[in-house]
Amino acid sequence: MNNGCDKPTARRMTRQRRIILDMLRADPSHPTADAVYRAVRKRLPRISLATVYRNLDLLDREGLIERVRFDDGPAHYDGHVGPHHHVRCVVCGQLADVPPEFCQLCPGELDRSTGYELVSCHVEISGVCPKCRQVRRDEAARNEQTGGRAPQKQK
Ligand SMILES: [Zn+2]
Ligand SMILES: [Zn+2]
């Protein structure tokens, strides 16, 4: 997605920071700092977790990435900084972007119904991700096969 956010803002972008930024922009999975660390280490084997945290923090403050946090979970990092909402899986904690049409309805709608001008918007949407839904479907199918009786044989 192109939001015109690619203007060269960072003056002294270190190689580490560039690699972390590029990685986040190419990764739609909204990784946690730990996941960023594991991925970045493949390219910079000697980088420390503290350095990854510091760079994520700087990138966030520069507005080049977005830190996304649902109240009880770890922070996730997003290379896509345009206004958008996230849906979080209640089973595995994975985040996904909500399609932009969803937020574009908000400002006008809010103004019309409350008279408020929208300044910022944080919506917490929970769901079950496609992977976890598949696991649930498989489990349900297995339970159906055994008819609720104790499973005696494995197939
Ligand atoms: Zn899930
Ligand atoms: Zn996102």
Specify the CATH number for the domain of residue 127.
3.30.1490.190
Q: How far apart are CA 37 and CA 42, in angstroms?
A: 9
Domain count, the chain: 2
In a domain? residue 2: no
- Does the pLDDT of residue 24 top 90, yes or no? yes
DSSP secondary structure letter of residue 151: P
Residue 89 lies in a domain: yes
For residue 149, how far is its CA from the centre of ligand 1 (angstroms)?
28
Domain CATH code at residue 56 = 1.10.10.10
Sequence-distant (≥ 6) Cβ neighbours of residue 154 within 8 angstroms? none
Are residue 73 and residue 92 in the same domain, yes or no? no
Q: Is it the case that residue 134 has pLDDT exceeding 60? A: yes
Q: Is residue 107 very low, low, confident or very high in pLDDT (cuts 50, 70, 90)?
A: low
Q: Ligand 1 centroid vs 117 CA: distance in angstroms?
A: 35
**Ligand 1 geometric centre to CA of 43 (Å):** 28
Interatomic CA distance for residues 75 and 52, integer angstroms: 13
Structural domain that includes position 100: 83-148
Answer yes or no: is 32 within a domain: yes
pLDDT digits (tens, 9 = 90+) for 47-79: 999 999 999 999 999 999 999 988 778 899 999
Same domain for 73 and 93, yes or no, is: no
Is the Cβ–Cβ distance between 116 and 108 less than 8 Å?
Answer: no
Ligand 2 centroid to residue 123 C-alpha, Å: 12
Residue 45: its pLDDT value, please?
Answer: 95
Note the ligand closest to the C-alpha atom of 89.
Answer: 1
Amino acid letter at 79?
G
Distance 102 CA to ligand 1 centre (A): 21
